[in-house]
Structure 1
Amino acid sequence: MPTRPVRVAVQLQPQDADYAQIRDAVRRAEDLGVDVAFNWDHFRPLRGDVDGKHFECWTMLAAWAEQTSRIELGALVTCNAYRNPDLLADMARTVDHISGGRLILGIGSGWHRTEFEDYGYEFGTAGSRLDALGEALPRIESRLARLNPPPTRDIPVLIGGGGERKTLPLVARHADQWHWFAGPDELPHKLDVLRGHCAAIGRPFEEIELCAGVGGLGRAGLPPQLPEVEGEPLRALGVTMFTINVVGPSYDMSFVQPWLDWRDRLNA
């Protein structure tokens, strides 16, 4: 299998900003040369004022799909519990068409108890939420195969999370991309576990693109390191997509440029 190119993604966190500022941020990300723009699937801010400004994930992705022309886009990650799986498949197919085939279907089991309860979803347990995700993924795949018109491409599925007994088996069976906020000290063990789950079902481990978060306020409250410090150890382990968290309301992307320069040197 050919070596994948290195890619740089940003997560534009949809809180603390007016939508005009978010719209401007995704435009600037595309103009800058970023490969992927993610938002997240939450109903309230994750830090600061929990009643502060915040916007919904999938309606935003549809707007981004219309606004942009090159960049891939998706949620990091959709909460499986918040939408019927067949409906989610139809939403993903629609955004796929609006974008001309640039959607990544990021999905996970969810974790934020307060927003589950505030919006009337059953929180359950970590295990029950992962079981529900395991039941939803085949339904999503089945619905995508039956929609008319079909998606413009096989929509890449990105699964987030590092649970070894339930999440990583789902990655092995269903995901095109695996995303986790793990440093180079933790990652080798997780990769060994994922390789084992792939081997158990006869799937080549190399089919899965490895993606990692590399900084911003979502990781220990710290800005990202330079790519030579943070990126090189992860790339040596096989990571090819690197996600930087960018926060509102200013969405300052000045620290993204060194990562783009590094990407371009490696991909030349």
Structure 2
Amino acid sequence: MTDPRPVRVGLQLQPQHADYAEIRRTVAAVEEAGADVVFNWDHFFPLYGEPDGKHFECWTMLGAWAEATSRIEIGALVTCNSYRNPELLADMARTVDHISDGRLILGIGAGWFQRDYDSYGYDFGTAGSRLDALSEALPRIRSRWQELNPAPTRDIPLLVGGGGERKTLRYTAEHATIWHGFGDPETAAHKCAVLDGHCRDIGRDPAEIERSVAVEKSPDEVGEALYDTGIRLFTTGQDGQGGYDLGRLKDWIAWRDERNA
């Protein structure tokens, strides 16, 4: 698929192993650097490093980011569907959408980190049951947006994260405006082709869905190869161990600017 969209660059600012003041300063620096999107994630404990290290909650933080920034888009990469009723999540997203003046991306996935579930009293179930719950939640979220007063400021972009080819990518085709995945260019090309197939099956134009991946290498190593697969949103990650270093993000921003020139 040839996507005419410009390249965009994001940072997943992982809310672990740092004080909030440092996270707040880094969000400001990310916006100042010219990134397009800043994401956090939706967990209750660190995913790596000291397992009981410092960690902050996702959506409370997004509300604060909405006030602390003025240009950059914000969102979770990704919200765990299991942790909130879909109607509540829709209302939370609509509220942050208004606080940010239309800069929210609602990223969502089925959930996977069992410690979160066990410690906070959620039923972990099975991978299949969590995916089924995501399938049920997505149309409920969109339906609730139509009922809220005031309505969202815009058609809130819905990002679905995950690479499951039979269910997750089908749900993406049915509901999402952005797909986010992981992997090298060969993997990304394959996942995009599967997503295109699901779009054709339901009569949707695949070009309606922006393609996004997490990038751990430099743009010189993987930028052009991923671009050629149709990827247009490139998101690098940073946690607070030893402080947030925006060097790699700035490399991607420079590549973006050259690629979009």
Q: How does 1:124-203 map to 2 (within 5 A)?
A: 124-203=125-204
Structure 1 residue 30 corresponds to structure 2 residue 31 = yes
Distance 1:265 1:192 in 2: 27
Runs of 5+ consecutive residues of structure 2 not aligned to the other structure: none
Residue-by-residue CA offset, 1:9-65 (whole Å, 9 max, x unaligned):
000000000000000010000000010000000000001211110000000000000
Distance 1:246 1:50 in 2: 17
Residue-by-residue CA offset, 1:129-163 (whole Å, 9 max, x unaligned):
00000000111000001100000000000000000
Query: Which one-letter code corresponds to 2:223 in the other structure?
Result: G
**Could you state the TM-score of these two structures normalised by the residue count of structure 2?**
0.97
Distance 1:21 1:157 in 2: 28
Query: Which one-letter code corresponds to 1:179 in the other structure?
Result: H
| 2:182 and 2:188 in contact (8 A); partners too | no
2:232 corresponds in structure 1 to 240
| 2:3 and 2:207 in contact (8 A); partners too | no
Q: Report the secondary structure of 1:158's partner residue.
A: strand
Structure 1 residue 266 corresponds to structure 2 residue 221 = no
2:54 corresponds in structure 1 to 53
Distance 1:2 1:206 in 2: 7
Distance 1:133 1:39 in 2: 20
| 2:169 and 2:194 in contact (8 A); partners too | yes
Q: How does 1:59-78 map to 2 (within 5 A)?
A: 59-78=60-79
Q: Following superposition, which runs of at least 4 residues in structure 1 exceed 6 angstroms of deviation? A: none
Query: How far off its partner does 1:228 sit?
Result: 2.4
Query: Which one-letter code corresponds to 1:246 in the other structure?
Result: Q
Q: How does 1:47-126 map to 2 (within 5 A)?
A: 47-126=48-127
**Could you state the TM-score of these two structures normalised by the residue count of structure 1?**
0.95
Q: Report the secondary structure of 1:153's partner residue.
A: coil
Give the alignment's Cα RMSD to 1 decimal. Answer: 1.0
Distance 2:184 2:3 in 1: 25
2:7 corresponds in structure 1 to 6
